Amino acid sequence: MQKIVTLKPYSLITPTASISTGTHGGRAKCLQRLIRLDLPVPTTVALSFETVHQIASGQLPDTGSILNAFDPGTLFSVRPSSADPDWGGPSAVLNVGMNDARHAEMIETHGETAATALYLRFVQSYAVHVARLDPDMFLAPSEPNAEALRTALENYADETGEPFPQDTAAQLGEVLRSMARAWEGTSARLLRQAKGAPADAGLGLVVQNMALGVGQDESGSGVIQFVSSQTGQSQIVGRYLSQSQGRDALKQAKGALFLTKDARGPSLEDLAPDIFAQLQGFGATCRQKLCEEMQIEFTIDAGKLYVLDAIRIQRTSRAALQVAVALAEDEIIPREDAVLRVEPRALSELLHPQVDPAASRDLIANGIAASPGAAVGRIVFSSAAAQASAARGEPCILVRRETQPEDIRGMHAANGVLTERGGQTSHAAVIARGIGTPCVVGTQGIEITHSRKKLVVADGRSFTEGDLITLDGATGEVLAGSVPMQQPELGDAFQTLLNWADEARDIGIRANADTPAEARMADAFAAEGIGLCRTEHMFYDQDRLTVMREMIFADSAEDRQATLDQLLPMQRADFLDLFIIMAGKPVCIRLFDPPLHEFLPKEREDMRDLAESLDLPIAEVTSRVDQLSEFNPMLGMRGVRLGITVPEIYDMQARAIFEAAIAAGEQGAPIVPEIMIPLVSAKREVELVKARIDAVAAAVRIESGVEFDYRIGVMVETPRACLRADEIAQHSAFLSFGTNDLTQMTYGLSRDDAGRFMSDYVKQGVYAEDPFHILDKDGVGELLQIAAERGKKSSPGITMSICGEHGGNAESIAFCREAGFDYVSCSPFRVPVARLAAAHLSIRDALTADR
Amino acid sequence: MQKIVTLKPYSLITPTASISTGTHGGRAKCLQRLIRLDLPVPTTVALSFETVHQIASGQLPDTGSILNAFDPGTLFSVRPSSADPDWGGPSAVLNVGMNDARHAEMIETHGETAATALYLRFVQSYAVHVARLDPDMFLAPSEPNAEALRTALENYADETGEPFPQDTAAQLGEVLRSMARAWEGTSARLLRQAKGAPADAGLGLVVQNMALGVGQDESGSGVIQFVSSQTGQSQIVGRYLSQSQGRDALKQAKGALFLTKDARGPSLEDLAPDIFAQLQGFGATCRQKLCEEMQIEFTIDAGKLYVLDAIRIQRTSRAALQVAVALAEDEIIPREDAVLRVEPRALSELLHPQVDPAASRDLIANGIAASPGAAVGRIVFSSAAAQASAARGEPCILVRRETQPEDIRGMHAANGVLTERGGQTSHAAVIARGIGTPCVVGTQGIEITHSRKKLVVADGRSFTEGDLITLDGATGEVLAGSVPMQQPELGDAFQTLLNWADEARDIGIRANADTPAEARMADAFAAEGIGLCRTEHMFYDQDRLTVMREMIFADSAEDRQATLDQLLPMQRADFLDLFIIMAGKPVCIRLFDPPLHEFLPKEREDMRDLAESLDLPIAEVTSRVDQLSEFNPMLGMRGVRLGITVPEIYDMQARAIFEAAIAAGEQGAPIVPEIMIPLVSAKREVELVKARIDAVAAAVRIESGVEFDYRIGVMVETPRACLRADEIAQHSAFLSFGTNDLTQMTYGLSRDDAGRFMSDYVKQGVYAEDPFHILDKDGVGELLQIAAERGKKSSPGITMSICGEHGGNAESIAFCREAGFDYVSCSPFRVPVARLAAAHLSIRDALTADR
């Protein structure tokens, strides 16, 4: 049964016609806006999505009635108009209406060259895009002369068995049908869906009177924009080419003019100062009225200027930021709008150097893009080599099968990290993101032999220590040699936008920072405090590691206390540094968390060294290492379990924190330190640790004669702690959710081991997303909600936050806002991104509420 | 301020006096019952818990008023009366009231020997128990003559500086005070708490007129009971001794008479047939009216029979079972009552194997047989090692110099306990009996060095951790190596009681069984099916292990399929065995669960062997082992993750199950096999595996031409699976909770690693109980409840069960009943215990409902 076409087949675009992006596409809507601004737009009609969809289904409207909208005997262009220009669409077709008769007439009115060029161009694009003939036969470069035209027409007739169509209505009908069908083809659909288009995304079409751009008097076409697509700074960019159509001026350098006066050659401003001034005026109008930086496509037809189209300028992240800020500073758009116009992920691009897009790339391997930015350096295979390299001031890339906690110093020293194993949340990935080091993990097809310091890639090439490679942490690509970089420059616009974001934002953003360097970065990025300071990283310095090991081997309580007494001033200095840097902002310190065996050597040789330095028989060292080794270290003797079993460690840390807080106060940076207990699963754990910490505080108060405050809270990272949040909250000033571990336990999934099947899992849709990357709302999220509800109910004033890797994620921030959390904490590098993402959420909420 | 004593200090026990076990203790209550039965009980008064507590606090009531209840000039005994006789109490004191004057009188009335014996006995026990003088000085064996009495009185005066008290009221006051204080002493409290007494358990006292048992005419004392304490079978047991008091007849073999006619010597039946007949009548009355088998303590005073006391006979578990069944069969008590009278844990004692009497024994030491049953295991020297061993599924014997409260968890984990020190009431002995673990204590001639993990026995042989030994808890023998065992023979009463239990029970009991031997045991114990068959254990046989390893090293899909094709017939045979043994009862098979690396060698040497047998370079073997190794294997690539990543393994298993089911049907054991998917955390995992299994089923149906049914379900063992039970249930015929793993993940606690701090944690009350032993209702339990609720809501007909270690626990069964689960599954040995425990719950529920 045939469907009845009820829609009007077209709308003439007038200032009052009923045209919207959602029904006719962005180009149609934009053209209406230009017409409303009284810009000289040729007569245009728009076909709606619905009409085009019916055309694709075989119901062609009466094309004659479309032609009625135009002066008879004129030519037309047909262009696509989808809801989002990024979704692509069929190529424009120009000069519809040309035929033998009109060609003959125009030889008289416009000269033979112009007339023939117009006809040839139409025949070519009709043959290729409408009749789907072989492009090679029609698009070979040739002078637009009579010979070329005749050949094209003959080829057309030979290939199709019919002469080139001469009826304008028939030509238009075929053009519309072919464009409609192209849109609904499978490959076009897949391509646009990959860019985020919905399955039923529609296509509109616009039919526009041609301003010819060829002929007598000054005729030609060009494009112009008023800011740089690279930087967003004011700059007139574009080209103009006499006797050309469409975007020819951009394609064909030869003969194309600069727009504004230019030392390199002639310009449109020289050639036609009035027209240039008119264009400048149009640009200003567009910016002011359309609230955007537009690229204008214009044609001069026999000395008269026409505006055919205008589109939002293409822009890099940097330019997007600059444009948005400038528009708001000029009060063309509100600040909130400027904030919304910059995507949070665009910021993270700005924060890292990038491989120069223009550089040639010698790809040697492909892995998971685990931490953004690009890095060049010489290969090193060990943390020691990385530190040595850094000491020599030589950039290096640390290449490991996988990283271990003892590699942290090496990772700090390296410019980039490459691992064979691991996923988005492997040790390497997490640490690298935390310290802002570019990182590629889970790299397919490479083979690393640490012992022989050799890296062999899939194509058989082999690299060794000292060879230069480049990591692209944005794409996961590993490149041979040193590839040129683009350095980030964070301009004023960056700061301005983030300040505006902060004004709008209604959830706190803190940073996870373990070292003074990270704290400084957190502070530079205006984090509102440190949400997670992991103290264990402080023990990996060689001098401290030795003392740590002595503590582990201490035979008596006195010996253990003696080593802790050595660690105390070091920890105190660590904390004082952080307190001074954060200058009064809150700092949340997580008590010692990892299992002790992480501090012991793994290799026989290192054990021998340790035995020697501790003056112990090697058998004793190996037996202690054996004793402390665990089947599942993640679920073993760590966190509060260690704190309760060997309470002297937490005692020492609490004392260091309190003494540092007193010293910070004396140095003008008063602080209320926050102390966080890790891996809690029962309220009694909190009671026991809290009692000891309170006792240490009392002792320090008495010794020092100084009063100070502190807050004790819990890192909620076991499912049980979530379920028992009501009773745990009764003893806690805050609950901070460690979503990494919580995700591991909720799924029963070690993130260190998940790499081997995670990509399989996500590919098969077993998990919609890697839950270590995107917070699992259904499972982990429900536990967070349960905990938040119960915690608040039992202790209404309690502070709630998350401090896992998910903290910087827009989705997680949305979740935390809805759950009523006070802040999120993320790696310092993610802080600007998080500030912006949080602002987006509150602005959008306000917009929704206004409606 | 002095408290005012408001309670009446004593109650004369009459048939209507207000006496209860909860206020006056069990002995007082029992005496009242005997009085109600018109048994010849001497006049008795009872002091309540409250009164005795006040006495201990220094508020002695007016003892004179107590004496008013008795005829003047008579003697008394004072005995303890606590709520539970097992809780112990101070020793009885007899002949209170004796003094010089009465001694002189009684020489006239009862003869000098009798009078002196009475006085001497009183002086001795007063000196030791009341005045706390040195027992050696007073309890040295001596004839009760005038000389001995004079010495005792002189010694008393010398030691105390005062003459022996002559006033009856004063004597009674001191006796009461000393008994009250002894009860409240620290060691008495600790001892009774170890037996389950509450901290505030009270002591009552009974003051009874003495029936003397010495003097002219036939006088004496004895005890009698009518069934064997060992077996519970009818048998008259006891002794009678002329001219004796209390339980002397039992202590002193010389001169004591048998009760019933006996070839070995004279008997009470010979001596006084009327009195013997009277006693028999009392026994029958007690059994009929008190609904119990009682041991009666009697005295003949000048030819007249008195009943001083009666207590429930002591009994082994076997006897308890026999007595309960016999009482019910005689319709003295209802069957439900008989079921309730047997503690589930008593059954587990009956189930213990014994050392095969025919086996040759390499005796290495001899100790006290402290807890019955025999056990074989590897030596461990610490509780932590015992727990680790249990976690690995390796039987072990805990060897300690002596045990401490913190060893309880290790004792639970061990199969047997051996201590160098201690007696029948040492910590080790008491606890081991309580938990039904075979135990030998006070072992002569062994030397244990915990620090060097060494056990040296008397003949100089030395044993170390990991060496196999056998304990015979029935004889106290310790044997080298693994000695063959004889399985227990369970008599008719056992079967009868469990049948009664099954009539009352309202939740299903299945067994976890992986092997034909276990399945046979499950069937023998009337498990209603197999709730968990772990297939991976089937791959550890040497021939299969080789094929497994070949599969792991397979380079191509074809090679892998070839190894799986080899495994298929083996698995099919495994399953067919189980199906035939279970003869139509349901069998739930868990698909392959462990990580592959569990099947690879750990030691370099074994890797070399493997490389040789696979004809691979050793480097390839070590690199594959490396590749597959995991940081946290528990949370790694195992269970359904392996099933999805290497789906051919599950395909093979499903095919083996279906083909075995068809074969079982043909052999007359039709079955609907249940297939369980392990470690699920997302519903899509279930969909994917289910789709493949369904496809295998379809293929097998076509190939075989046989129709068959099966059920696919999920092992719920991740917190996420609990939370998402609604959607997971939609694809599952059943949900079975693996509470071991679920506990690990809910707490973030690896069972294998928890041993190192668990005893510390329980000791400090961080966890009320080891959550791997007793189901954590608050955390894990809430997840179970959430899952059960959501699962039932989305799929009302779904079967629910638990199949973890907790399955056989009375607490867990209670939980599962309340949550509406269909069955619990536990180790075959626990099945009878679970059947009984489940029956207790439903009977108690019915009793509560009746009230």
Q: Please tell me which of the candidates A637, A756, A780 has its beta carbon nearest to residue B637.
A: A756
Candidate from A165-169, A667-671, B337-341, B521-525 with smallest mean pLDDT: B521-525
Query: What gap in Å lies between CA A435 and CA A381, rounded to an integer?
Result: 19
Per-residue pLDDT tens for A46-65?
A: 999 999 999 999 888 888 88
Out of B24, B129, B427, B840, which one is annotated catalytic? B427
How many Cβ contacts (< 8 angstroms) between chains A and B? 167
Query: Using CB atoms, which residue from A631, A752, A765 is nearest to B684?
Result: A765
Average pLDDT, stretch A451-468?
90
Both tokens of B650, joined, read 């599950």
B-facing residues of A in 688-727 (CB < 8 A) are 688, 717-720, 723-724
Q: Which residues contact A262 (CB under 8 A, 6 or more apart)?
A: none
Rounded to whole angstroms, the Cα distance separating A173 from A167 reads 10
Contact assignment for B723 to A778 by CB distance below 8 Å: yes
Amino acid identity of B303? G
Least confident of A44-58, B305-319, B618-632: B618-632
- Burial code (b: 16+ CB inside 10 Å, e: under 16) for A92-109 equals bbbbbbbbeebbeebbee
The span from the CA of B633 to the CA of B638, in Å, is 8
The answer to whether B741 contacts A748, with C-beta atoms less than 8 Å apart, is: yes
Mean residue pLDDT across chain B: 90
Here the contacts of B154-157 (C-beta below 8 Å, separation 24 or greater) are B155/B127, B156/B123, B156/B126, B156/B127, B156/B131
Is B681 within 8 Å of chain A by CB?
yes
**B752 touches A at CB < 8 Å:** yes
Do the Cβ atoms of A641 and B757 come within 8 Å?
A: yes
Bridge-based pairing state of the strands B93-96 and A454-456: unpaired
Distances (CA, A) of B259 to A489, A764, B249, B274, B601: 107, 83, 11, 12, 68
**Edge-to-edge strand order for the sheet containing B454-456?**
B447-449, B454-456, B462-464
Q: What is the pLDDT of residue B434?
A: 60
Using one digit for the tens of pLDDT, what is the confidence trace for B720-749?
A: 999 999 999 999 999 999 999 999 999 999
Q: Which of residues 605 through 644 in chain A touch B, CB cutoff 8 A?
A: 630-637, 641, 644
Closest residue, chain B, to A782 (C-alpha): B723
Helices B780-794 and B739-747, axial angle in degrees (round to 10)? 120
Instruction: Give all strands of the β-sheet with B203-209 in edge-to-edge order.
Output: B11-12, B44-47, B203-209, B76-82, B93-96
3-class DSSP assignment, residue B711: strand
Q: Which of A754, A560, A731 has its CA nearest to residue A652?
A: A560
* β-pairing verdict for A734-737 and A711-716: parallel
Amino acid code (one letter) for A1: M
Identity of the residue in A634, A684, A764 whose CB atom sits nearest the CB atom of B644: A764
Interhelix angle A618-628/A604-614, rounded to 10 degrees, is 120
Per DSSP, the three-state class of B376 is: strand
pTM over 0.90: no
Q: What is the pLDDT of residues B699-713, one digit of tens each?
A: 999 999 999 999 999
- Quote the CA–CA distance of B534 and B548 in Å, as a whole number: 16
Q: Which long-range contacts (CB under 8 A, 24 or more apart) does A607-612 make?
A: A610/A549
Instruction: Give me the interface pTM, i.e. the ipTM.
Output: 0.79
Who contacts B777 (Cβ-Cβ below 8 Å, separation ≥6)? Answer: B811, B815
Q: Reduced to 3 states, what is the DSSP secondary structure of residue A615?
A: coil
The answer to whether B723 contacts A783, with C-beta atoms less than 8 Å apart, is: yes
Strand A416-419 and strand A396-400: pairing?
parallel
SS (H, E, C) A99-143: CHHHHHHHHHHHCHHHHHHHHHHHHHHHHHHHCCCCHHHHCCCCC
Q: Show the CA angle centred on residue A660, arms to residues A654 and A661, nearest 5°.
A: 90
A24 is catalytic: no
List A396, A588, A722, A803, catalytic entry: A803
The label of the residue with tokens 């719950």 reads B841
Q: Contact A411/A431 with Cβ under 8 angstroms?
A: yes
pLDDT in tens, A584-641: 999 999 999 999 998 998 888 888 989 998 888 988 888 888 878 888 888 999 999 9
pLDDT number for residue A308: 96
At A8, the pLDDT band (50, 70, 90 cuts) reads low
Q: Name the region of A811 (left: φ>0; alpha: ψ -120 to 50; beta: rest).
A: alpha
Q: In degrees rounded to 5, what are phi and psi of residue A61?
A: -75, 175
Contact between residue A121 and residue A247 where contact means Cβ atoms under 8 Å apart: no
Tokens matching residue A543: 């001098």
Q: How far apart, in whole angstroms, are the C-alpha atoms of residue B610 and residue B604? A: 10
Cα B423-B428-B430 angle, rounded to 5 deg: 80
Secondary structure (DSSP) of B800-817: EEE-SGGGG-HHHHHHHH
The answer, for A850 touching chain B at a CB cutoff of 8 Å, is no
Please choose, from the candidates B251, B257, B264, the residue with its C-alpha nearest in 3D space to the C-alpha of residue B279: B257
Amino acid in position A563: T
Parallel, antiparallel or unpaired: strands A203-209 and A76-82: antiparallel
Distance from the Cα of residue A662 to its chain's centroid? 42
Could you tell me how far CA B194 lies from the centroid of its own chain?
14
Give A91-102 pLDDT, tens digit per residue.
999 999 999 999
CB contact under 8 A, B719 and A636: no
Lookup result for tokens 């082994």 = B316
Partners of B378 in the β-ladder: B396, B468
Buried b (16+ CB within 10 A) or exposed e, A715-754: bbbbbbbbbbbbbbbebbbbbbbbbbbbbbbbbbbbbbbb
Active site residue A803: yes
Give mean pLDDT, residues B352-371.
85
User: At A470, which helix (H) or strand (E)?
Assistant: strand A468-472
CB-based burial of residue A131 (10 Å sphere; 0-12 exposed, 13-18 middle, 19+ buried)?
Answer: middle
pLDDT higher than threshold 50 for residue B3: no
Q: Give the percent of chain A with pLDDT over 70.
A: 98
Strand A711-716 with A674-677, pairing: parallel
User: A753, A757, A777, A790: best mutation site toward chain B, by most B Cβ within 10 Å?
Assistant: A753
Indicate the pLDDT class of residue B6, thresholds 50, 70 and 90: very low
Alpha carbon of A445: minimum distance to chain B alpha carbons (Å): 13
Q: Which two tokens stand for residue A452?
A: 């022989």
Question: Which of A103, A129, A412, A427 is the catalytic position?
Answer: A427
Q: How far apart are CA A380 and CA A385, in angstroms?
A: 6
Mind telling me how many Å the CA of A631 is from chain B's nearest CA? Answer: 7
Predicted confidence at residue B1, as pLDDT, reads: 35
Helix residue spans in B286-435 (DSSP H): 317-329, 335-341, 344-350, 383-391, 408-413, 427-435
Contacts of B746 (CB under 8 A, 6+ apart): A681, A718, A719, A720, A723, A745, B719, B776, B779, B780, B783
pLDDT band at A1; cut points 50, 70, 90: very low
Mean pLDDT of A430-459: 85
Q: So what's the pLDDT on residue B435?
A: 67
Tokens at A623, concatenated: 């037996």
Chain A nearest-CA residue for B744? A635
Find chain A residues with C-beta within 8 A of B633's C-beta: 631-632, 753
If you average pLDDT over residues A200-207, what whole number do you get?
Answer: 94
- Dist. CA B642–CA A757, nearest whole Å: 9
For B215, phi and psi rounded to 5 degrees? 125, -160
- What's the pLDDT tens digit per position in A786-837? 999 999 999 999 999 999 878 888 889 999 999 999 999 998 888 999 999 9
Query: Could B753 and A637 be called an inter-chain contact, meaning their C-beta atoms sit closer than 8 Å?
Result: yes
At residue A338, what is the residue type?
Answer: A
Instruction: Say yes or no to pLDDT of A199 above 80.
Output: yes
| Contact (CB<8Å) B719/A760 | no
Residues from chain B that touch A763, judged by Cβ atoms under 8 A, are none
B780 pLDDT higher than 90: yes
Half-sphere exposure of A693 (CA within 13 A, CB side): 28
- Average pLDDT of chain A? 91
Lowest mean pLDDT of A78-82, A434-438, B627-631, name the range. A434-438
Report helix, strand or coil for B505.
coil
